[in-house]
Structure 1
C-alpha cells in the first residue's frame, strides 16, 4: 500500500516537472501529508504527518488564503507562523480579545509581516499621543492598515514631529491620530505637500498668514490630509464658481465653516448645490439669498437631495412660508427624524407653526421638554424620536 502511494505521488512529480510548469512544492507537501495520514490508518500508529510537514496547517486560526500564499517554501511557512504568534501575543497583552486579534489579521493580513521587535516602540509612539493602550487598540482594531503602514520608528517619528512643528494643539493631534489614522500611513513628504498646497493657496487668495491658514484648515478638517490634492483643488474651484465668491470670501470660507466640504466628491457638491438652488428658486427665493444661506450653512451640502427636499416639503406643509425657510438652520442642522417627530407632536397639540414660527423646532431636547411642561402639555420619553 505504501509503495502504491509513493508511486502515485511520484507520478504527480513527473507530470508536474514535465508538464505545464515547475513542480509546486506546496502541492507535494499537501499530497504527501494527505497520503501519509491515510496510510497511518492501516494498522500503524496513527500520526499526523501533515502537521510535521506543513506547520501552517497546525495553526487552525491561519486562513486558507495565508496557506496558499506561504505554502511554496517551508521556511517561509515557519517564519510566517512564528510572526503570527508573536503578533497575537503582543496584542493580547495590550488587552485585545481573541476575536479582535482575528479580525485585525483578517482585515489586514500584512500585519503579520510587521517587524515584531519594532512593535513595542511603535506602539509607544502612538500611545505618547493617544495616552492609553485602550485608545491605541481602538485604532488598531478599526484601522489596522493605518497602524501597521505607519511604518517603523523613523517614519512615524517624522510625521509626529512635523505636525507638532505646525503648531497643532495636543487635542487636535490626538483627534488626528484617533479619528484619521490614515494620515500617519502617509509619508511625511506627502503630508508636507498638502500643507504646502494650503499655504500657497492662502498667498494666492491674498491671505497674510499661510502657516496659520494651513493649521486652521487641518484643525477644522482632520481628514483633509488623507485626500488627494487634485480632489481638493477641484472642489475649491467648483465652490468658487458655483457661489461666485471673491478670493477673500473663498479664503474666509475655507478657513472657517467650509473646510469640511473639501472632503466631498466634486460631483456631489455640484449636484447638491444646483438641486437645492433650483428647488428654492422654484419657491420664489432669490439666488443671492440661496447662495448666502449655503455660504453660512455649508452642511446643507452634505444632505442627500431626497432628505433636504423632504425637509422643505414638510415645513411648507406646516404653514411656514418659503421666504422663512432660510432664516434659520432648520434645513441644515436639525435631523430629519427630529424634525418629523416634533412636527407630528406639535400638530397633535394643535400648535400652529405657521403663526408662531418655526423657532420651537430649533430648541435642544431639554429645552423642548421644559417648554412642553411649562405649557402643561403631557409628555413621555417615548412620544417622539430624539
Structure 2
C-alpha cells in the first residue's frame, strides 16, 4: 500500500475559492462617464463602444490612470496597437494606481527580465498583470518559494500568467500541494534526480493543479491502485495525465471504466493496458466516449483497431470523419490500415497526409531499367 495513501500529511490544504481577477478599486462611481478616461482611450485607438458594451462600469469610475498605464506599457516596448488591444480587452487596467503598477512590473521582471517577452505575456493575460495591490505580498512570497525549488523562470512566469490565483493566495497553500506532488512522485518510485524536471513539466502542462485539494490526488491514486495498476503504472499515469488526475474523482472514473470495458468487451487487465496507452479514457464522460466509439465503428473501423490505437478516441467525431475522408481521397482505407495516421494535432495529420500524397504522386524508379537515350 502506498505510504502516500496510508499516511496523512501533517499539513492540510483548505479549500480556497478563486480570488476575483477583476480589479475594482475603491473609486468614485458616477452616473456619468469619466470624460477624461473616454478621451484618453479614444486617443489610444481603443474601441470605446466595445468597452461600453462589455465593461462600461470602468468608464464611470474616478480616478483613472489611462495615460500612466499607456506610458508604462510604452516604456516596456509595447506599440500603440498592442496598448490599444490590452486596454480594449482589460480596461480595468486604467484603475490601477501607478505606484502599484510599478510594483507589479518589478515583481514580473524578477522572473521575466526580457521586456519584449513580458509585453507579450501582458497582451495575452492582462488580468494577471493588472491585479489588486493587496496581493503583492503573496505574489512576492510565492515567487520566492518557486525560485527556491529551482524551477525554470519561464515556468514560474507561465504559472503567474495562466493561473494567477495560485500566486494571489498565501504561499503555504502552494507549499502543501507541491509537497503532496513530490511525495507522490517519491512514493511511486520516481527518481530523485529527475523530480525537478518532472514537477516543472507537470506544472507547465497544467498550472491549475496547484489550486486543487491534495486529498483529491490521494483519493484518485488509491482508486486506481485498487483497480490493479502497479506503482510504476501509477507514476506513468500521474505523469501522462499532466496533473489532470486532480480533475478526476473515483465515481466518474468508475463509471467511465465500466462503460469502456463493456463497450470494448475486454478484461480488466486488458482495459488497464488500453488506459496506459490512452489515459484520457479516464476523464471522458460516457456520452462523449459513446459518440466517439460509434463514430469510428460506423466508419467501418473495427474494435481491435481502436484498442490497438486508443488515442484516436481523443479526437472528436467531426475531426475523425474529416480526416478519414481526406485519406480516402488519397486511396488510404482506414478499415484495413493503421489508425495511427489519424492521430495527433492538425499539423501532425497534415504531415502524415502529405507523405501519403507524395508517395502516391512520385513515380516508382527502377534502378535496373535501361535509360532512354536520344537517337
Deviations 1:95-115 (A, max 9, x none): 264533533553xx3x45544
Instruction: Please name the residue that 2:44 is paired with.
Output: none
Which shows bigger deviation, 333-342 or 58-67?
A: 58-67
Do the aligned partners of residues 159 and 323 (structure 1) sit closer, same or farther apart at CA in structure 2, a change above 3 Å counting?
Answer: same
Do the aligned partners of residues 135 and 270 (structure 1) sit closer, same or farther apart at CA in structure 2, a change above 3 Å counting?
Answer: farther
Do the aligned partners of residues 263 and 229 (structure 1) sit closer, same or farther apart at CA in structure 2, a change above 3 Å counting?
Answer: closer
Do the aligned partners of residues 163 and 370 (structure 1) sit closer, same or farther apart at CA in structure 2, a change above 3 Å counting?
Answer: same
Do the aligned partners of residues 100 and 355 (structure 1) sit closer, same or farther apart at CA in structure 2, a change above 3 Å counting?
Answer: closer
Instruction: Please name the residue that 1:133 is paired with.
Output: 115
Contact 1:198 1:210 in 2 (8 A): no
Instruction: Please name the residue that 1:41 is paired with.
Output: none
- Spell out the pairing of 1:109-188 with structure 2 (5 A cutoff): 109=92, 111-112=93-94, 114-149=96-131, 151=133, 155-188=138-171
Instruction: Please name the residue that 1:308 is paired with.
Output: 289
TM-score by length of 2: 0.65
Deviations 1:14-49 (A, max 9, x none): xxxxxxxxxxxx99x98xxxxxxxxxxxxxxxxxxx
Q: Does 1:190 align with 2:173?
A: yes
Aligned counterpart in structure 1 of residue 262 of structure 2, from 276, 281, 290:
281
Count the aligned residue pairs.
312
Q: Does 1:373 align with 2:358?
A: yes
Offset, 1:294 = 1.8
Do the aligned partners of residues 323 and 281 (structure 1) sit closer, same or farther apart at CA in structure 2, a change above 3 Å counting?
Answer: farther
Higher helix fraction (1 or 2): 1
Do the aligned partners of residues 375 and 299 (structure 1) sit closer, same or farther apart at CA in structure 2, a change above 3 Å counting?
Answer: same
Instruction: Please name the residue that 2:57 is paired with.
Output: 65
Instruction: Please name the residue that 2:271 is paired with.
Output: 290
Any gaps of 5 or more consecutive residues in structure 2?
Answer: 1-27, 42-51, 363-375
Instruction: Please name the residue that 2:339 is paired with.
Output: 358
Deviations 1:186-240 (A, max 9, x none): 333332222223244456x46576796476234223344564342x522541354
Higher relative contact order (CA 8 A, sep 6+): 2
Q: Does 1:253 align with 2:236?
A: yes
Contact 2:229 2:272 in 1 (8 A): no
Do the aligned partners of residues 226 and 116 (structure 1) sit closer, same or farther apart at CA in structure 2, a change above 3 Å counting?
Answer: farther
RMSD between aligned residues: 4.1
Do the aligned partners of residues 372 and 93 (structure 1) sit closer, same or farther apart at CA in structure 2, a change above 3 Å counting?
Answer: same
Residue 86 of structure 1: SS of its match in structure 2? helix
Instruction: Please name the residue that 1:73 is paired with.
Output: none
Any gaps of 5 or more consecutive residues in structure 1?
Answer: 1-25, 31-53, 71-76, 378-386
